């Protein structure tokens, strides 16, 4: 899975949750996934999925979960969401993944 803007936060343990929209294949609980800084780039680490949640809108939980996403403030979380995905209040299924870093 690509963590283009936040892979270093995952590597250092500051980010324990990620959000995805429009996934065709959803990782399941217990599965390990590679953390890649970009498409086709070598993984910097692996994480194990410990929880998968589905919510109707990003606004339903992004601000409350900003620390797990690696953001220090709600404003930065919302600004980053908009830059990456567009409308923060728009409809659409959002998938939250909670993970723990798998130590090599």
Q: What is the mean pLDDT of residues 24-39?
A: 93
* 37 contact partners, CB below 8 Å, separation of at least 6: 2, 3, 4, 7, 44
pTM score: 0.78
Domain that holds residue 35: 7-102
Note whether residue 54 is domain-resident.
yes
Each residue of 33-86: pLDDT tens digit?
999 999 999 999 999 999 999 887 776 677 777 788 888 888 888 888 788 777
Residues 27 and 81: their CA atoms lie apart, in Å, by 21
Q: What is the mean pLDDT of residues 16-29?
A: 87
Note whether residue 1 is domain-resident.
no
CATH number of the domain where residue 73 is located: 3.10.400.10
Lookup: tokens for 75: 């404003």
Domain count, the chain: 1
Q: Find the radius of gyration of the CA atoms of the chain.
A: 13
């Amino acid at each position: 899975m690509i963590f283009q803007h936040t892979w270093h936060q995952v590597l250092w343990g500051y980010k324990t949750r990620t959000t995805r929209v429009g996934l065709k294949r959803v990782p399941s609980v217990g599965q390990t996934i590679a953390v890649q800084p970009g498409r086709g780039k070598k993984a910097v680490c692996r994480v194990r999925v410990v929880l998968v949640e589905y919510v109707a809108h990003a606004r339903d939980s992004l601000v409350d979960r900003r620390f797990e996403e690696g953001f220090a403030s709600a404003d930065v979380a919302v600004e980053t969401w908009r830059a990456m995905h567009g409308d923060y209040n728009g409809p659409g299924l959002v998938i939250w993944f909670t993970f723990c870093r798998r130590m090599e």
